[in-house]
Amino acid sequence: MCIPPFIRLIVKSSKTKPTKPNEAARPIGVFDSGIGGLTVVAALRELLPGESIFYIGDTARVPYGGKSQATIERYSVELAGLLLAERAKCIVVACNTASALGVPQLKLDLRVPVTGVIEPGAQAAVKATRSGKIGVIGTRATVNSRAYERAIEELDSELEVFSEACPLFVPLIEEGWIEDAVTDSVIARYLEKMLQHDVDTLVLGCTHYPLLRAAIQRFVGPKITLVDSAQNTALAVQKLLKQYKLTAPKKSVGKLQVALTDQSTGFLRVAEQALDLQVGDVLLRTVQK
Ligand code: DGL
pLDDT digits (tens, 9 = 90+) for 241-251: 999 999 999 99
pLDDT at res. 46: 97
Class of domain 118-229 as given by CATH: alpha beta
263 Cα: distance to centroid of ligand 1 (angstroms): 19
Residues with CB under 6 A from ligand 1: 32-34, 36, 62-65, 95-97, 139, 142, 170, 206-208
Residues with catalytic function? 95, 206
Indicate the fold that domain 5-15+24-116+231-284 takes in CATH.
Answer: Rossmann fold (3.40.50)
In the chain, where the domains are located: 5-15+24-116+231-284, 118-229
Query: Which amino acid appears at position 79 of this protein?
Result: L
Task: Please check whether the two domains, 5-15+24-116+231-284 and 118-229, share a CATH topology.
Answer: yes
pLDDT at res. 16: 44
> What digits encode the pLDDT tens for the residues 63-109?
999 999 999 999 999 999 999 999 999 999 999 999 999 999 999 99
pLDDT at res. 268: 87
